[in-house]
Every structure is written in C-alpha cells, then in structure tokens.
Amino acid sequence: MYHKKLKPFPKDFLWGASTSAYQVEGASLIHGKGPSCQDVKEIPAGTSGLDVCADHYHRYKEDIALMAEMGFKVYRFSISWARLLPEGTGRVNQEGIDFYNNVIDECLKYDIIPLVTMFHFDMPAALDERGSWSNADSVDWFVEFATLMYKSYGDRVKYWLTINEQNMLTLVGPVIGTLFIPEGCTNEIREIYQQNHHMLVAQAKAMVLCHEMVEGGKIGPAPNISLVYPASCKPEDVIASQNANAIRSWLYLDMSVYGVYNNLVWAYLENNDATPTFSPGDDVALKNGKPDFIGFNYYNTSTVEDYSLDDTDEQSSKSDQQDQRGEKGFFKGFRNPNLGSTEFGWEIDPVGFRSTAREIYSRYRLPLIVTENGLGAYDTLTEDGKIHDTYRIEYLRKHLEQIQLAITDGVEMMGYCPWSAIDLISTHEGAVKRYGFIYVDREEFDVKNLDRYRKDSFFWYKDVIASNGEKL
C-alpha cells in the first residue's frame, strides 16, 4: 500500500525507551535484595556478571535527568521481584519498596510516565528451588507479587506490562538463563508448555487485579512479536509460516486477548503429547483477563520453509531467538537473502516492523506500544567524549518511518520505547553489545568509572521527540 500523504504521529504519542532491572541496576545482592535466577546462573563465557551492570541503582537520578533532557514522555523499566520479596513470597524488603518509589517519583518530577514491567527474566532463586513456573503455585506467587506492586505504586503507576517476552521464555529459555527443568523430566516440551500455561494464568489474574486495584490502571502483555515469512510461494512453505507464526506469536496474544489456545499450537502440542494440564478455574481465569493495549518487542522478522518428517537435514529448536530454528513436521528456519544483518548477525527488516504492526492490529484491534526495538553494536568512545553512532540513528529512523506508514495504514500506535535508554548488560552477549542512547563508560570486566556520555543518537532522538516525529 502506497500513500499520497502520511498521517502524523498522534499528538499524545508516548516517546521513550526501555531498560530491565537485572540488566541495568546492579546492586544485585545488597540492600536486602535476594538472588534471582540471573544472579545464580552460569554466566556465558566472556561476559561480565550482573553485580554492577550500569549501576542504575545508585545513579537513577542522573539517568532519569538525561532521559528528561531527551524529552521522554514515558520510561519503561521493570521491578525486580527479588528486590521486593527476597524469598519470592512472604517477607517484604522495605529498601526495595523505597527504591522503586524513588524511581517512580523521579520520573514524575519530570512528567515522565512510568511504564512498569512486572516480570522481566528474573525469577527469584528461592522460587526456582520450589519449582519455579513448573509449580502450579507459581500463579499464586505472581499474584502476591502483583498485589504488592499495585498496593505500593498503583497510586502513581497507571501503565503496566505483565511478562516480558513470555514467548522467548518458552522457546529459548536456556539462552536467556531462565528455564528450570525438574530432575527426571521425560517430556521437555510438555514441561515447558506447562510452565507457559502457569504464566498465562498468572498474567490473566494480574490483569484482572490491576483493573480492580489501580484506579485508571491500564495493562497489557509484552511478547516479542515479529512476522514469519514463507521462504517461497510454495504452498507447503506458506503452511510452515502459519505454523511458525502461531507457535512464536499468536499463542501468546490469542491467550492474552481472548483467553483461548491457538488451534495450530494446540495441534502442535497434541502431536508432542504436550498439552498442558488445567487446574480448576484456569479456563475462567484465562477468559477474564482483558488487556487494555498490546506491548510488543520487535527486532526483526524470520523466514521458514517446509520441514517434512522425512527431511534428513537436522535443525535445532533451541537456538538463539534471532537465529534460524526448526520444529520437524512444522517449519524449518531459512536465511532471508533480501535482508542485511547487524554485526552481531541479527537480520534487519524495517519493512517487517510495519507488516508486524499491521498484522497484530488487524487480529486484535487494541492500541499498540512498541516496548523494544533497537540495534546492538560495538560503540566507540572518542578521546573528546563523543560516540558517533550514525548506524543506530539510521536503524531507528528506518523503523520509525515504517511505524508512521503503519499509522497511515490505520494502525493505532500509542508509543515507542526502543531498547535501550542507556547502555546495559545484554542478556547473553555482555556489556560490549551496546543499545543505549547514553553511553556508560565501562568494559566487559573493567567497570571503570561508569561515567555517562550522550551519543549522537541522543541528540537525534531528542529532536525526533521535540518534533513529535516530524524530524526523523
């Protein structure tokens, strides 16, 4: 679809950026915080630990002031479950409560709307010891955590996100360091999707609770959504892309919005003897959860082809979230020859951003907010304190151009929160993979002075926000 004239970004468009607690805060085991799964996991070779990160815990005032300088309308951050509840349930850590009160108040001082992610890859280690999401009690654990957050912050926080990238937790949990498999498990797929089921029920109950406890509260999911293309017009490849889209994306949004399992995913689970067990009341709880909007993370699309049962080519189902992956009998990953890639090997597809937004809105007709989108790169600090990240500006500009086209297509876009506000620790590629508008002066194993520097993209994004997207 080609347009003669583009619609502007909405006047109340929420410009901002994102971080997550375990990747940015540091202070991982002090001031009463308990360990999370991220603190006790085996750190990927060649990457730093999470005890310091960007030290946002001690420098949040400086960081939020810089966000205000850019003109942020919203700041998306997550709350560490183990900082509020060191054992996951029961005892409350008041120092943790106070920290996020201070972060929220600092945002409001600059008229920045806090957008809080409730769970971002950091299950308390104490709950892992009790079975993590494998335990049906995890639903109640999450409800307890949600209740505490709403009571503590609901008077000021009106926008909430439930679970960050639940689909990635399910599909590539080992890469993220979050997957807990009980000893003696004989059907890993069934186990993983049972955990996923508990998360879905927990999310639905948290949405209901938000509407009950937070006056004017709005809440939505935040999965990683991107269209999956067929490798060709071969009918079997089209079927494969439908399979992959359902397993990767529609399962999570169908359940968030409608409270029912996607039929193609259910067929996949039946095929693997992996359909989840419903506890009494789960079906009602799932249908009662109603999101007000949909948050989604977008980095790139993927492409698949037919993968018949007699195909002798072996392709793993446990690869990185952005790598080619396959499920025999359902789809096989295919490298798209029409797309370039980042220096970390992730495909770049701005047009796919528009396609994905169009498809989500067409299916669910709820307002959309982009909760992550960004370019990880090796940034260089010059001797005069500059970071010339023209490549990041170009990446973000091309993606924002496609979002404006989606808006002109009739998609209701409410905001854009790229990853990330400041440099932080990448999930499995460490401190050297930088995403932020603000440079944090540290190396992988040398934290140096952690001074902040404004990148060229900082000034570009400031102009974008000030012009409400007219100046890209």
Q: Angle formed by the axes of helices 456-466 and 390-408, to 10°?
A: 20
For residue 171, which of 32, 47, 330 has the smallest C-alpha distance?
Answer: 330
Enclosing H/E stretch for 294: strand 294-297
The residue count of the chain comes to 472
Catalytic residue (choose from 25, 305, 327, 372):
372
Where does 214-249 have alpha helices with state H? 235-245
**374: its two tokens:** 């960004």
- Beta carbons within 8 Å of 15's beta carbon, 6+ residues apart: 71, 72, 73, 74, 415, 416, 464, 465, 468
Please say whether the beta carbons of 253 and 225 come within 8 A: yes
**139: its two tokens:** 């639903």
Quick check: is 372 catalytic? yes
Catalytic residue (choose from 25, 165, 305, 347):
165
Supply the DSSP string of 342-386, one letter for each residue.
-TTS-EE-HHHHHHHHHHHHHHH---EEEEE----B-----TTS-
Quick check: is 444 catalytic? no
The DSSP code for 398 is: H
Q: Would you name the residues annotated as active-site residues?
A: 165, 372
